[in-house]
Chains A and B, each alone.
Chain A
Amino acid sequence: MIEEPYRWVEAIANRREYIEHQLGGGSPIVALSFKEGIVLFTLGRERQKLFEIYDRIAMGAIGHPGDIERLRMMALELASTEGFVRSGDDVSLRRLATYSLSSVLKTAFEQIYGAPYLARMLFVELGRGDLPDLFLRLEYDGAIHTNGGGFGRAFEEFGVLSGNASSTAQMTRFLQEQNFANVSLEKALRVALEAWTVGHLALGAEDSMELPSSATIALHAEEQLTAASIEAAVLDRSTSLPVTWRLLTDAALRPLLQSR
C-alpha cells in the first residue's frame, strides 16, 4: 500500500506528528554569543544535554537519549577523524551538518519502515578570527535553520531550540529584542535564563505573539531554578589552547542567577 504516493505522504505526516509529540516536552536550550565566546544554557532534571563535539563545536539536544547518543557519536567521529587526518582547522560545522548529518536524518525520516531519529539538535561553532559564530538547528527530518541573515531576517547572535515551534518562535522573538552584544558571561547567563523561561512558559501555553512580562519571567525563572539543575557550558574565545569547551557547574552558577 505504501507504493501509492498518497499513502506515503500520509505516513510521513503521521510520523511527523508522532515525533513532534515525543519532542513536545523537551526543555528549551539557549545559546548566545557574548564577549568571550558562546554560552550554552538549559535547565534540566535528568541527563546531560550539552556536549562538546570538537575544539570549536558544541551541541545541545532534546529527544530520545538513545538517538541523541547515536547522532552525537556520529558527529564526534566525523569531526575527530577529519581533525586527525587533516587538521582541527578543517573541521567545520557547516560541512558536518550539511554534508553528513542532514542527509542521514532525512533518509532515516523518510524510510518509513525504519525508525526515525527522535532528536532535535542545536549546534554552535565559535568563529575563527573575524568570522561570526554559527548557530545551527538541525531537525529530525534533516532540515537546517541557521542564524545567518536570510530574506527579511537580520543576522542573529544566538540560536535556540525547544520542544515545539511556538516556543522556539517566542524565544527567538525575545532574544531579537535583547541587546547582549559584548556582554559579560554573567549578563549573558541571565539573558539565557530569561530566554529559557520564555521558551518554557510557551511550551504549555496557547500560541501567542505576545511576550510575557518581565515580572512573569522573573517569577517563573525563580520557581524553575529551585526545581531543576542548571546546565551550562562555554566555548571560550579567549583561550590560547585549541580546546575551547568548558562545562560550568550548577554550584558555580546558582549564586549568580538567584541573587536578583
Chain B
Amino acid sequence: MDFANLPAAPTAQFGPEDFPALLRKRGIYPALPVQAGHAPFLQTEATTILAFKFAGGVLVAGDRRATAGNLVVYDRADKVLEIDRFSLMAIAGVPATAWEMARVLEHSFQFYRRSQLQEMSHEGKVRALSKLLRDNLGLVIQGVGVVVPLFATFDPLLATARLYFYDAMGAQFEAADYAASGSGSGAVRSILHYENTWGARPLRKRNEAEAVLIALRTLETAAETDTATGGVDRRGRVFPIVKIVSEKGIVTFSDKQLSKIFKEKVS
C-alpha cells in the first residue's frame, strides 16, 4: 500500500461551510462581473419601504411600483420578502441584485439549520445580510447594483422583534423605533418621526389596527410627491404589501383587509 500518497487529513473547521461559500466553490454564486469604468443605463430601482415597532411586533410595508428612470416597469412588485418563519427583508434598490440577495439569504438560513442542526442566531442572521451587501460592493461602485434593505426579525433570546437598516456597503444599524429606505423615504421618516414624537401615542404603544393605518397613510403620502412610489391602484386592486413579525411568526395582510381599511380611513 502506498502510504506516501494518502490524502492529507483535512483541517478541522467549525462545521460545514456556509451557503455562499458552497455556491462559490461550485461556481454558481449569483454575482455579476465587475468591470472598470461606468456603463450608465436606466435601472429599475426607486421605491419606498418602511418598518416600525408597534405593540404587536415590527410592521414592515412597501409599495408595489418598480421604475426605470421615468418609466413604470411593474406595478405589482413584492418588495417585502419572507426569508424564514421569523424574518422579513424589505428591499429598495436594483431588483435584479436585491431579489437574488434575498434568495441567497433565505437558502443560507435553511442550509445553516439543516447542516448545523440548530437555528442560526439572531446576530448571525443580521450579519449574514451585511456580508452579502459587502460582497456586492463592486456593483455599487459601478452604480448598477445598489441595494439598501431593511431587515426585521424576531430575537428569541430577548423575546422581541428587532429592526435593522443597512447602507449599500453593508453597515448595519439597529433602529430604535422606525426605519425607511428608497426614494420616498424622506417623507416617510418625517411622518414617522412626527407620529412617534407628537402623535397621540408613541409608535411602540400603537395597536395593530393603528399601525396598519399609519403604514398605509404614510405610503400614500410618499406616493404623493415621489413618482417612483406607487400609490394604491383601486381599480386594479393593487395594494401595498403589509406584514408583521412577532413571536407568532409572520402575518400578512390580505388585499381584502387592506381594501377595507383604505375605503374607510385612507381614501
Contact = CB atoms under 8 A, between A and B. Distances in A.
Interface of A: 48, 51-54, 73, 76-77, 80-81, 83-85, 113, 241, 243
B1 interface: yes
B117 A76 contact: no
B110 A77 contact: no
Given A73-B16, A113-B1, A84 B28 contact: yes
Contacts of A81: 22-23, 26, 28
B107 A76 contact: no
B234 interface: no
A225 B114 CA distance: 27
Interface of B: 1, 16, 19, 22-23, 26, 28, 85, 103-104, 107, 110-111, 113-115, 117
Nearest to A48: B117
Contacts of B115: 73, 76
Nearest to A247: B117
A141 B26 CA distance: 27
Contacts, number: 35
A80 B117 contact: no
Contacts of B1: 113
B22 A83 contact: no
A7 B111 CA distance: 44
Given A73-B16, A84-B23, A243 B110 contact: yes
Given A76-B111, A83-B107, 10 more contacts: A51-B117, A76-B114, A80-B19, A80-B110, A81-B26, A84-B19, A84-B28, A84-B103, A84-B107, A241-B85
Contacts of A52: 113-114
Interface-central residue, A48, A54, A80, by most chain B CB under 10 Å? A80
7 contacts: A51-B117, A52-B114, A73-B16, A76-B114, A80-B114, A84-B104, A113-B1
Interface-central residue, B85, B110, B117, by most chain A CB under 10 Å? B110
A54 to B, nearest CB: 8
B192 to A, nearest CB: 31
Contacts of B19: 80, 84
Nearest to A55: B110
Contacts of B114: 51-54, 76, 80
A67 to B, nearest CB: 14
Contacts of A77: 16, 22
Nearest to A54: B114
A193 B28 CA distance: 43
Nearest to B117: A48
A80 B22 contact: yes
A81 B107 CA distance: 9
Contacts of A113: 1
A51 B114 CA distance: 8
Contacts of A73: 16, 115
A40 B121 CA distance: 27
B145 to A, nearest CB: 19
Contacts of B85: 241
A85 B23 CA distance: 9
Nearest to B26: A81
A65 to B, nearest CB: 13
Nearest to A242: B110
A80 B111 CA distance: 7
Contact of B28 (A54, A85, A241, A243): A85
A48 B118 CA distance: 12
A84 B110 CA distance: 11
Contacts of A243: 110
A248 to B, nearest CB: 15
A83 to B, nearest CB: 7
